[in-house]
Amino acid sequence: MRVHLCAVGRLRAGPERDLMDDYVTRFDRTGRALALGPFSEHEVEDKKGGGMEAEADLLSRALPSGAMICTLDERGKVLSSPEFAEHLARWRDGGRQDLAFIIGGADGIAPSLRARADFSISFGRMVWPHMLVRVMLTEQLYRAASILAGAPYHRA
């Protein structure tokens, strides 16, 4: 199952990019034997300032055809790492070819795009900077692959 990140904004060089790249490499390496990955990133920017709906249109165009859509949203479901791993395995085993995670812009994800989502995840009730959410998601993807592989990375 290919994993896509569709996000508003560009993650430039710096500590967040370094961390994300490290976790993506780990996920791709660990997930390969589990039919998870590869991971790809699709960044969009609304240069005209059209707001959430314009961002939603750009994000929609970045989504792979037929992909399962999972938003990262404060209203989403809070999962433990093992629960997240179970969801990934269930989606993969259910025949999903593509899984797309969506991270909106500063104002969040437009209601029209949120309504299209198959699932929504929250990293808690606090609001996180969008660049950190990318790092947190890629770390959790690697952790989930490690859990599914029986590797010792996750110690709960």
- Residue 88 sits in a domain whose CATH number is 3.40.1280.10
**Chain segment 51-92, per-residue pLDDT in tens:** 899 999 999 999 999 999 999 999 999 999 999 999 999 999
Domain assignment of residue 154, yes or no: no
Q: Which domain covers residue 124, as residue numbers?
A: 2-149
104 is in an annotated binding site: yes
Q: What is the DSSP letter of 77?
A: E
What lies within 8 Å, CB to CB, of 30 at 6+ separation is 36, 142, 145, 146, 149, 151
Task: Give the tokens for residue 118.
Answer: 């198959």
Burial of 15 (0-12, 13-18, 19+ CB in 10 A): exposed
150 is in an annotated binding site: no
Domain assignment of residue 155, yes or no: no
Domain assignment of residue 88, yes or no: yes
Question: Number of structural domains, the chain?
Answer: 1
Least confident of 46-50, 72-76, 128-132: 46-50
Domain assignment of residue 71, yes or no: yes
Domain assignment of residue 45, yes or no: yes
72 is in an annotated binding site: yes
pTM listed for this prediction:
0.94
125 is in an annotated binding site: yes
127 is in an annotated binding site: yes
**Chain segment 14-34, per-residue pLDDT in tens:** 999 999 999 999 999 999 999
Domain assignment of residue 156, yes or no: no
Domain assignment of residue 112, yes or no: yes
90 is in an annotated binding site: no
Q: Are 70 and 117 in contact (CB under 8 A)?
A: yes
Domain assignment of residue 89, yes or no: yes
* Euclidean distance between CA atoms 99 and 38, whole angstroms: 11
Instruction: Identify the pLDDT of residue 136.
Output: 97
143 is in an annotated binding site: no
37 is in an annotated binding site: no
Bond from prior residue into 38 cis (ω within 30 degrees of 0): yes
Tokens 């560009």 identify what position?
A: 10
pLDDT for residue 111 is more than 90: yes
Q: Once rounded to an integer, what is the mean pLDDT over residues 37-46?
A: 95
Q: What is the DSSP letter of 91?
A: H
Q: Once rounded to an integer, what is the mean pLDDT over residues 96-112?
A: 95
Q: What is the DSSP letter of 57?
A: H
Instruction: Identify the pLDDT of residue 66.
Output: 94
Q: Are 26 and 142 in contact (CB under 8 A)?
A: yes
